[in-house]
Amino acid sequence: MEQNIQSKEFQFLTKGLRTIFSIIMMLFIIVLFVMGALIIGMALLSENTVNSFLENARISTALTIEGIEIQLADLVANNINYEKMPMISLIALAMIYVGILLFVVWQIRNLLGNLSKGVIFTMANSKRIERVAYCVVVLSLTIGAFRTYIAYTVIQQLQLSTLIAGTDWITGIQYHFSSINWTLLFCGLVIWAIARVFRYGGFLQEEYDATA
């Protein structure tokens, strides 16, 4: 009786988590469609049109760095110079990262679907977990460069490098694109190790099914 209750609780948990990941997957798909629409809109609108709109609009600018929000002066807001290709490149690169996250969510959703059915130690589940691990490792190696590229693009659009370099406090800005997120890398290695455990469990299950 107790084992049946635990089994039902496990199925309820995995089905609930699968529903949550299904919702997350739909949200990522919507974000991808929105980003695609933004790229199309940017491609159709000329730079002069956007810059004219920015000149006539009242815009307040702020930067958030590690939980610190910095309000920028009106001089910065009035100095925005919109350039089409850097912004399109930034959004296209962001779409790649969202696509990777969508792929991770999809793999976890399918894994939870199998777990809710009682299908646990299989080669298919092992491969899904391995794919998640590889994606996490890729993110750990590239997310720092992506964040730096975001900062670079924003600073170039706001022309902050020229304004900051003209002060007596800061003489220049340097961008470091080669950085590793060690926390994500460690998580990726742990997930990969779990995938190998599932692979070995799947091998033992196949051996047991063959001899039973």
pLDDT tens digits for range 168-202: 665 666 667 677 889 999 999 999 999 988 888 87
pLDDT of residue 135: 95
pLDDT of residue 66: 56
Task: Determine the structural domain holding residue 8 and report its residue range.
Answer: 2-57+75-211
Q: How far is CA 207 from CA 59, 121, 122, 202, in A?
A: 67, 12, 12, 9
pLDDT of residue 146: 86
More confident site: 140 or 52:
140
User: Residue range 10-22: average pLDDT?
Assistant: 88
More confident site: 14 or 169:
14
Provide φ and ψ at 195, rounded to 5°: -60, -40
Distance separating alpha carbons of residues 137 and 139, to the nearest angstrom: 5
pLDDT digit string (tens) for 54-67? 666 555 566 565 56
- Amino acid letter for position 203: F
- Residue 146 falls inside a structural domain: yes
Q: How far is CA 56 from CA 38, 51, 77, in A?
A: 21, 9, 11
User: Residue range 123-145: average pLDDT?
Assistant: 92
- Residue 64 falls inside a structural domain: no
What percent of the chain shows pLDDT beyond 90? 34
- Residue 14 falls inside a structural domain: yes
More confident site: 165 or 203:
203
- Residue 63 falls inside a structural domain: no
pLDDT of residue 1: 40
Distance separating alpha carbons of residues 83 and 156, to the nearest angstrom: 9
Least confident window among 34-48, 153-167, 188-202: 153-167
Distance separating alpha carbons of residues 41 and 46, to the nearest angstrom: 10
- Residue 66 falls inside a structural domain: no
- Residue 93 falls inside a structural domain: yes
- Residue 67 falls inside a structural domain: no
Q: Count of domains in the chain? A: 1
Provide φ and ψ at 120, rounded to 5°: -115, -70
How does residue 31 score in pLDDT terms, banded at 50, 70 and 90?
A: very high
- Residue 62 falls inside a structural domain: no
- Coil, strand or helix at 60: coil
pLDDT digit string (tens) for 70-112? 666 655 556 666 678 888 888 999 999 999 999 999 999 999 9
Distance separating alpha carbons of residues 91 and 94, to the nearest angstrom: 5
Instruction: Please answer whether residues 142 and 51 qualify as being in contact, where contact means their C-beta atoms are separated by less than 8 angstroms.
Output: no
Residues in Cβ contact with 158 at an 8 Å cutoff, skipping those fewer than 6 apart? 61, 72, 76, 79, 80
Q: What is the average pLDDT score of the chain?
A: 80
User: Residue range 157-167: average pLDDT?
Assistant: 63
User: Residue range 103-123: average pLDDT?
Assistant: 89
Alpha helices by DSSP H, listed for 45-159, are 47-56, 74-77, 84-116, 123-158
Q: With 80 as the cut, is the pLDDT of residue 15 above it? A: yes
Provide φ and ψ at 63, rounded to 5°: -120, 135
As to burial, measured by CB atoms within 10 angstroms (0-12 exposed, 13-18 middle, 19+ buried), residue 155 is: middle
DSSP per-residue letters across 42-53: HHHS-HHHHHHH
pLDDT of residue 41: 87
